[in-house]
Amino acid sequence: MTILTGHARLAGIMGWPVAHSRSPRLHGLWLRRHGIDGAYLPLPVRPERFADAVRALAELGFRGANVTIPHKEAAFAVCDRVEPSAERAGAVNTLVFRDGLIEGSNTDGYGFLANLREGAPGWRADAGPAVILGAGGSARAVAAALLDAGCPRLVLVNRTPARAEALARALGGPIDVADRAPLGDAALLVNTTSLGMQGQPPLGIDLASLPAGAVVADIVYVPRETGLLAAARARGLAAVDGLGMLLHQARPGFAAWFGAEPVVDAELRDFVGGDIPAR
């Protein structure tokens, strides 16, 4: 049993809805590992009350909070200060309350790269072009992280080309837009859409033209092995699932709120993903 004192450090995740979030389970294990007097709570907040709720948490002594759908853009607006990661992503997923200020960052790109490097140790950002499927908030965070890491060229593929073109203009840099994935010279293929997620239609992409050394990543983590990843493994390609991105993106927030540097390991993966269907 966890016993909190009057000095307990508090954080949580704000979303609407938020009951599905695995973040309390994730942070709860880290809190137990480090023996920290603290708690990480699910915080369901209606969109129209979000800004008031953030300020109330700061007044109540919370150290900060994670932010999930549909609040990430609203979180950007409520911050007194935002880090470059949030500026690039156009959204905030991590809030830190410090010295009377609300500070915001976006750790999605960090989590994506950390997971990619862990799951495909031989991958290098400068190895060749990256093809990104999708043009939403996750695509923006992933694209910005890849550009900042030194990827020579990105290709955005989206069912609404205008949205991909708007994202390319917002980020700047070597970004092309295509109506179908040009895989022939791709070093990395990333799915940032919900296609392939449990309850959603399959992605339906032919990987035959991907080079032998390419890496395939999917930010979907329900199921753990999507059809895209299964197809990549069948071709002998490196395949990186989405669960690690969820785990790694949580590390900077935990360190800021609770004062300890957590690690992502097999025990954490099994604990957080234990009830996620394998396929």
Catalytic annotation present for 72 = yes
Q: Which region holds residue 134: left if phi is over 0, alpha if psi is between -120 and 50, else beta?
A: left
Instruction: Tell me if residue 181 falls in helix, strand or coil.
Output: coil
Q: Where are the alpha helices (DSSP H) in the chain?
A: 23-34, 50-59, 72-78, 84-89, 108-119, 137-149, 161-171, 227-234, 243-249, 251-258, 266-273
One-letter amino acid for residue 115 of the chain: N
Angle among Cα 245, 251, 254 to the nearest 5 degrees reads 140
Catalytic residue among 72, 140, 248, 251: 72
Place of tokens 């500070």: 103
CA angle, 26 then 67 then 117, to 5°: 55
Q: Give the C-alpha separation, 148 to 31, whole Å.
A: 32
Distance from C-alpha of 139 to C-alpha of 154, rounded to nearest angstrom: 11
Alpha-carbon span 50 to 44, nearest angstrom? 10
Tell me if 29 sits within 8 A of 271, measured CB to CB.
Answer: yes
Strands 215-218 and 238-240: parallel
Q: Six-digit token pair at 9?
A: 């450090």
Asked if 38 and 11 touch (Cβ cutoff 8 Å), the reply is yes
Catalytic site positions: 72
